[in-house]
Amino acid sequence: MKSLLILIALVSIQAQAAFDVCQFEDTVAFDEAVDAKKVTLVKQTNDHKKWTAIEKKMIHETIKSPESKITQFEALRYFGDYYEDSTEEGSNAGEIQYFRAGNFKFALVHYWPGDNEVGAFIELGPKNQIKILATVSDQWIECKSR
């Protein structure tokens, strides 16, 4: 029984490790993998008025930097490309795309300030745990150190 549990754990780890967003140089190459059905787009959302708590957290983590003190509210406004006191998002507002590759679940949180794609690939773990796998800057994918 113990060896069966170990085998199941190893298969699960291998299934998750089988897909790596860092294999792609940029989001164009990643989109080609989606088109080739190597990765499945599960859901896409850009309704800025209906973000869940975990989506707000992902947006905040994507936008903030270690030295910034940006609040979640400010990050959401920036992500939504809101102008001043406007209540409508702008033309460069961001979106969240959810993907699955085997048992591996992750999201691409991205937006377009100044028409440059910026964002992050985020692993979606159990109990709403998130982990930034890679950042996106002007569509180039830069992996986080492992």
pLDDT for 106: 96
Residue 120, classed as helix, strand or coil, is strand
Mean pLDDT to the nearest integer, 44-66:
90
Indicate the average pLDDT of the chain. 82
pLDDT for 6: 45
Phi then psi for residue 67, to 5 deg, are -90, -5
pLDDT for 5: 39
Mean pLDDT to the nearest integer, 22-47:
91
Write down the pTM of the prediction: 0.81
Mean pLDDT to the nearest integer, 46-59:
91
Using a 10 angstrom Cβ sphere, with 0-12 exposed, 13-18 middle and 19 or more buried, the burial of residue 111 is buried
Tell me the C-alpha distance between 118 and 110, whole Å: 6
> Which residue would you say has higher pLDDT here, 79 or 136?
136
Dump pLDDT digits (tens) for 90-146: 667 789 999 999 999 999 999 888 778 889 999 999 998 999 999 999 889 999 865
Using a 10 angstrom Cβ sphere, with 0-12 exposed, 13-18 middle and 19 or more buried, the burial of residue 57 is middle
Mean pLDDT to the nearest integer, 67-93:
78
What percent of the chain has a predicted confidence (pLDDT) above 70? 80
pLDDT for 87: 67
Tell me the angle at which helices 53-63 and 72-79 cross, rounded to the nearest 10 degrees.
80
Residue 130, classed as helix, strand or coil, is strand
Q: What residue segments make up the domains of the chain, in order of their start?
A: 20-143
Tell me the C-alpha distance between 20 and 116, whole Å: 23
Contact between 33 and 21 (Cβ < 8 Å): no
Task: Using the predicted structure, report yes or no on whether residue 9 has a pLDDT greater than 50.
Answer: no
Nearest to 108 by CA among 51, 45, 47, 32: 45
pLDDT for 68: 79
Lateral strand order in the sheet of 140-143: 40-45, 95-101, 104-111, 118-124, 130-137, 140-143
